[in-house]
Structure 1
Amino acid sequence: MDVHCDEIDDPQSRSLETLATLALESGMGDKVTASHTTAMGSYNDAYAYKLFRLLKMSGINFIANPLVNTNLGGRFDTYPKRRGMTRVKELHADGINVAFGEDDIKDPWYPMGNGNMLDALHMGLHVGHLMGYNDILDSYQFITLNGAKAMHVADHYGIEVGKPANCIIMNNDNFYNALNERSEILYSIHNGEILVKTSPKQVENNFNA
């Protein structure tokens, strides 16, 4: 169950607390995902502290949508202007599963959407203050493993013998460099077959040594 929940800047919006309570009491737990939850970015810390205990007990997942959330969030503010995204860093640090998504593809809410999850991740790292080297190096999980966990396909996900060969191969030596340099995707592979292949770009250096 994916619920678009508390997608508003109102610090008094309490739908997330209701959703987590229902997930806990019904036993649905991690079968429930709360998307957006941008009101959490406006909650005071005392309430957020109390809420996090319930969120962890409930086992629900979270999906933040950094691109559209930052576009729509805070648009009624003058200044200071809120960032418009849920508390990704705090959720992740508390062991609560949170992934990034892209809610809109070229529509009135977000006309720049193109489905490239690296764009969503890049924005999410900025807005969420996730700029430590290890934060960036490990951030691939927000658009891979954590999403698979939320969708309950994690058992069929990852690079292991016997799992479906669905992956992309990027032209760099680690994820930090691939994201920072916007490295091209050399291969897009589905069920072991190459769907798209890109030749590495050629750079000509005309500077004298």
Structure 2
Amino acid sequence: GYHGRVTLGHLTSLGALRADEAGRVIDLLAKASINVVTLPATDVYLSSAKEPVHPRRGLTPIRALREAGVNVAYSSNNIRNAFTPFGTADPLQIGWLLAHVAQFGSPDDRNYVLEMCTHAAARVLGITDRYGVAIGKQADLVILDTHKVGDALLDLPVRRWVIKRGRVTVEARQTCTIYRTAQKEAAL
């Protein structure tokens, strides 16, 4: 009954284990199809906050979980409270933070981070049957002002349009104005 329907959040203690110990736990998670949701903003802020020397600021071992086939997503958890005093709940900002902290810098890594907040999150929620852009699906999406999908974490681009159930619900515009003085223009 619960195969693939159980999700663990944070799981930062797994990152404190030796690799062999963590590996045994990760293998069990993979065999049981248990999902993991990492909450990077909260986990980095709270982890070992009271340790006076070399406080741990770790996440769950995302790379090892990925390699074992565990479905890993991320989320913002709380914002603007005692657990996470900063944030806007923007998935791209959380992904940007996660990519830094987890050292996911390659193009493949960045695509994986985006996968974590899209398809992996849909698997956690059990909505893969209606998630995505295809005939018969809801077509909920955000259109970003970027040239490549993988650059979304590099650029943190403007979200040009938000589409919900096939209808545009938000359109964002950005204006950049450069003012030049007459003296500077004469020098050009």
Tell me, yes or no, if the aligned pair for 2:91 and 2:117 is still in contact at 8 Å: yes
Q: Does 1:145 align with 2:119?
A: yes
Partner residue, 1:112:
86
Distance in 1 of aligned mates of 2:41 and 2:105: 17
Question: Against the structure 1 CA distance between its residues 50 and 137, is the aligned structure 2 distance closer, same or farther, given a 3 Å change threshold?
Answer: closer
Q: Residue type matched to 2:53 in 1?
A: Y
Alignment of 1:58-97 (within 5 A): 58-97=32-71
Distance in 2 of aligned mates of 1:129 and 1:177: 16
Deviation by residue 1:154-187 (Cα, 9 ceiling, x = unmatched) = 1111111111121110011112322211210110
SS at match of 1:122: helix
Unaligned runs of 5+ in 1: 1-26
Tell me, yes or no, if the aligned pair for 1:73 and 1:82 is still in contact at 8 Å: yes
Distance in 1 of aligned mates of 2:177 and 2:30: 49
Q: Which has the larger radius of gyration?
A: 2
Aligned length: 183
Tell me, yes or no, if the aligned pair for 2:93 and 2:156 is still in contact at 8 Å: no
1:179 to 143, 153, 169: 153
Which 4+ residue blocks in structure 1 deviate beyond 4 angstroms? 203-209
2:30 to 41, 48, 56: 56
Partner residue, 2:13:
39
Percentage of identical aligned residues: 23
Q: Residue type matched to 2:143 in 1?
A: I
SS at match of 1:154: coil
SS at match of 1:31: coil
Distance in 2 of aligned mates of 1:126 and 1:79: 22
Tell me, yes or no, if the aligned pair for 1:66 and 1:85 is still in contact at 8 Å: yes
Give 1:200 shift. 4.0
TM-score normalised per structure 1? 0.81
Q: Residue type matched to 2:68 in 1?
A: D
Distance in 2 of aligned mates of 1:194 and 1:180: 25
Unaligned runs of 5+ in 2: none
Partner residue, 1:156:
130
TM-score normalised per structure 2? 0.89
SS at match of 2:8: strand
Give 1:120 shift. 1.0
Partner residue, 2:170:
196
Distance in 1 of aligned mates of 2:25 and 2:112: 26
Tell me, yes or no, if the aligned pair for 2:27 and 2:68 is still in contact at 8 Å: no
RMSD over aligned Cα, in angstroms? 2.0
Give 1:84 shift. 2.8
